[in-house]
Amino acid sequence: MAVARRSDKGNCVTFTSYAVSCECNMHMRTANVFGSITLVGFRIGVLGSAIAACSTEAGPPPRPEPGVIYTFPRDGQLDVPLSARVVVTFSDPVMAGAIAPCAGTAANPTGALCLVGPDGPLAVTAEVIGDGRIVQLSAALEEATTYALFARSALAPTATNLPASAPLVRSTTRSTRPRAAAPAVVAINGARRAARVHDPARPAPARPRARRQAGRRRPATA
């Protein structure tokens, strides 16, 4: 903080500085400011102690636990495009050499990373990208079919959120078959449309009054 005082000699304004403290939850720091400013023909000398802005940054966010941090499709997603790629992102690089053709059944596939349909594991093309942390799977998907993605610890030994035997995600592809019934909303942003449930505590909306009968006469006005 500074108070300005004008000198009797010349057009010089001098600032007298005072110490100011700033305390915040995270950091506190002080900086000295020296310099001069010319404003409308006056030369102003500045010499004092100024407070730098208090830092309110909380620092970097905590690092997530090792494991899967993103999947597409997400678990339970509907209306997945038939041309979509299955994407799994890990927090750490995966063991790319563990990816191999899967075997077994639809309920119990064997392999490090398996995309399974109703008839068992699918033949997929796997690609590891993104510094070894992202795995993309391409396969021939059928419409209106539910698929399950299994990921084992052999692919990501440090992962802590891989299911022991259950699939990592399940999703259903979209259907392009025409329907005889009227069009209906199947999903919104890949999620199943929630059914409306009547709340007894909420009053029902008022119904509009019926219009007067056509043959009924209105009273005459003067």
Tokens of 15: 């600032």
Average pLDDT of 41-69?
62
For the cut 60, the answer to whether the pLDDT of residue 22 exceeds it is no
Q: Give 15's pLDDT tier (boundaries 50, 70, 90).
A: very low
For the cut 50, the answer to whether the pLDDT of residue 39 exceeds it is no
For the cut 80, the answer to whether the pLDDT of residue 85 exceeds it is yes
| 221 CB neighbour count, 10 Å cutoff | 4
SS3 220: coil
The alpha carbons of the chain give a radius of gyration, in whole angstroms, of: 35
Q: Give 214's pLDDT tier (boundaries 50, 70, 90).
A: low
Rounded alpha-carbon distances, angstroms, from residue 131 to 62, 67, 128, 156: 21, 15, 8, 14
Domains and CATH numbers, the chain: 2-51 (no CATH), 68-173 (2.60.40.3710)
Tokens of 22: 């700033």
Task: Give the rounded percent of residues in the chain with a pLDDT score beyond 90.
Answer: 49
Residue written as token pair 């597409």? 72
Rounded-to-integer distance, Cα 222 and Cα 217, Å: 15
Rounded-to-integer distance, Cα 106 and Cα 197, Å: 36
Rounded-to-integer distance, Cα 59 and Cα 114, Å: 39
For the cut 60, the answer to whether the pLDDT of residue 82 exceeds it is yes
128 near 134, Cβ under 8 Å? yes
- The H-assigned helical ranges of 23-164 are none
pLDDT at 59: 80
